[in-house]
Amino acid sequence: MIAYLERFVHGNDVESRQADEEDDCSSLCDALDLQGSIDCVATGLAGKDFGGVYSFKPLGFVKPANSDDVARVVKAALRSSNLTVAARGNGHSINGQAMADRGLVMDMRSMEDHFQVVRINGTPYADVSGGALWEDVLKRCVLDFGLAPRSWTDYLSLTVGGTLSNAGVSGQAFRYGPQTSNVAELEVVTGKGDIIICSEAQNPQLFFAALGGLGQFGIITRAKVELQPAPDKVRWIRVVYTEFEEFSRDAELLVTRQENDSFDYVEGFVFLNSDDPSNGWPSVPLDPQQAPFDPSRIPATAGSVLYCLEVALHYRDTDHPSTVDALGSSGRCRTQ
């Protein structure tokens, strides 16, 4: 039986409290019998996240080897009156959601490297671990199979389970929906520690609750993500606006056009009308080797922020060169 021992320690008895917590962590580690491990000392990373607003010291940093380890940790919390558990992907939460104050934080990236391309009714899917980074999934799909996820996030150093627990929005969402709309099946560890396979047809309530559920209905440990043929070439463009009305008008125009009469990727962002290296003019060029952004082209009437549309068009090696060079002319990419 797993037991979490609660001791009363005076608030100012820091050394005693730390020693007791380390003893509790060691005891719990032995009782859990994980295939992975628990670090009761080097827990600094588990007490931080991208937001930097909160910092909580956990009791231990768990490195689960597989879904069974995740289930064991969740069951330990279920049996305890005071032990909390949090799943941490790449720590990109902003309000401490991936932390557990004197609880257990699970490093989902430590899970086994599960990757397989499967077909369901002829459609390819990547069957991947919830702790896998999207950048790794993309590389393996493209290099080994010539395929790519239909929808992903702009920042790819995030875990599959992490973004599927939110939504996963990028410049492809206008066409294919967010990442949560491109999943055929999930493996989820519920709050009771049960490992359940779910989909639209099998355990659908859990399936739709876990997708975008912020981890409140279970921890996603595996997912089947829809793929499509990867492009051979991509033309990538950024267009800067001074007026929000023009920026939003063009964005709406592009995302409402038919698939063969628009770009394959459309999104926008705001940046500072200044030389700030991270958020100003220097952030606009797509490649550091490109010529820098020329602020002399900005009208004197422009405000403190500018707007940028980022678009991309996919090509195949079989496309005729005239098609590739026809951007902005009549046909697929014409704008008004």
DSSP-derived secondary structure for 246-281? HHHHHHHHHHTS-GGGS-SEEEEEEEESS--TTTSG
Q: Which candidate, 231, 235, 183, places its Cα nearest to that of 210?
A: 183
Would you report the helix, strand and coil content of the chain in percent, each value rounded to 5?
A: 30, 25, 45
Best-predicted range by mean pLDDT (30-34, 304-308, 330-334) = 304-308
This prediction has a pTM of: 0.85
Q: Which amino acid is at 53?
A: V
246 flagged as catalytic:
no
Catalytic residue among 49, 107, 267, 310: 267
Instruction: Note the pLDDT of residue 326.
Output: 57
| Average pLDDT over every residue of 328-336 | 42
Helix/strand/coil for 71: helix
Q: What is the pLDDT of residues 29-52, one digit of tens each?
A: 777 888 998 888 888 889 888 888
pLDDT tier at 336, thresholds 50, 70, 90: very low
Q: Residue 2's pLDDT is what?
A: 32
CA proximity to 192, closest of 45, 95, 73: 73
Q: Which of 211-220, 226-235, 282-291 is least confident?
A: 282-291
**Weakest mean pLDDT among 7-11, 32-36, 108-112:** 7-11
Pick the catalytic residue from 21, 69, 92, 187: 92
Would you call 25 exposed, middle or buried from its count of C-beta atoms within 10 A (0-12, 13-18, 19+)?
Answer: buried
Please write the tens of the pLDDT for every residue from 217-272. 999 999 999 999 999 999 999 999 999 999 999 999 999 998 888 899 999 999 99
**92 tagged catalytic:** yes
pLDDT tens sequence across 114-129: 999 999 999 999 999 9
Q: Does the structure show a pLDDT above 50 at 330?
A: no
Q: Counting Cβ atoms within 10 Å, is residue 77 exposed (0-12), middle (13-18) or buried (19+)? A: buried
Which residue is catalytic, options 23, 154, 261, 275?
154
